Amino acid sequence: MSELQLFIFFPALHEESDYEHSTYLSSRDEQLWLDAILIPCITKVVDCSNILGQYPASACIANLDSLAISAERLAQKESVREQFLKHAIQPQHLDPLWTLILKTIEDNPGLHRFRGTTLFSNAKNTKVEYNRKSLTQAYEVWEQRWSDATNLEFYNKDRTYVDLAKQVTSKDSAVPYDEIPKDHEAEVFLWKKCCLDAYLRTQAVLNGAETRDGLIYSQFYGSIKTPFDSAKVYVFDNDSVENLALDPGY
């Protein structure tokens, strides 16, 4: 699964801090997490100087590594100033590493702000990868990829959710150099407002078949990619756009 991502969540840290509008660690918390927990645990579990030499030895070094491109190549205008660091960890180290991380947090009172640390995996933007003519075909392909990427022993099925989607798209399309008749009208499909309003007032029965099968929620929407979703950058996202509409006399 090329789009499978793994995140570390810190629920307790969020509750006791002012992270209301941010999902990033503060500089202080990031330094504590790396220097007191993650890097020491990796060092103990991997225990191979040939591999450990490839990893940053401290939070300070990791921070400098992330800024190296912009600092040395003056590339601020070509890419973001701070770069993500990518380091591979061999699969046999993952389970003992996570076990040691949790134990380190529990055994050290100074690290209790990280209690409840949880792994969260997520796969997004996989529509093209699993799109098939039937739900059965799509599920078979997805299940094979999922089983290749995960191990049932290490995740909770009751906390695993699959987002199923049905897409209906008009076959009407054109590419450059296509001959389009002058009387041709483009075709699009839109949801009827009455249908959306009706579903808005519908709720799955608590003990109904849908709920027992795991239905959490449904959503219906129109989708258009080319003008409004370019490389996952959306129009009107810039906070300064509102200034374009201000009265000159403001």
pLDDT band at residue 77, thresholds of 50, 70 and 90? very low
Residue 76 pLDDT: 46
**Contact predicate 203/222, CB 8 Å:** no
Residue 161 pLDDT > 70, yes or no? yes
Which structure tokens are listed for 78?
Answer: 């070509």
Distance CA 39, CA 41 (A): 5
With CA atoms as reference, report the closest residue to 24 among 74, 84, 78.
Answer: 84
With CA atoms as reference, report the closest residue to 126 among 145, 109, 106.
Answer: 145
Q: Region 182-203: what's the mean pLDDT?
A: 85
DSSP assignment letter at 182: T
Domain residue ranges of the chain, discontinuous segments joined by +: 4-123
pLDDT band at residue 52, thresholds of 50, 70 and 90? very high
Which structure tokens are listed for 43?
Answer: 């060092």
Query: Could you tell me which residue, 186 or 244, shows the higher pLDDT?
Result: 186
Which of 31-40, 41-50, 69-78 is least confident?
A: 69-78
Query: Could you tell me which residue, 207 or 236, shows the higher pLDDT?
Result: 207
CA distances from 81 to 26, 77, 78, 137, 239 (A): 18, 8, 9, 43, 20
Query: Could you tell me which residue, 55 or 249, shows the higher pLDDT?
Result: 55
pLDDT band at residue 109, thresholds of 50, 70 and 90? very high
- 161: Cβ contacts below 8 Å, ≥ 6 apart: 214, 216
| Confidence (pTM) | 0.67
User: Can you spell out the DSSP letters for 143-161?
Assistant: HHHHHHH--GGGS-GGG--
Residue 19 pLDDT: 58
Query: Could you tell me which residue, 141 or 206, shows the higher pLDDT?
Result: 141
- 129: Cβ contacts below 8 Å, ≥ 6 apart: 2, 3, 145
Distance CA 110, CA 227 (A): 50
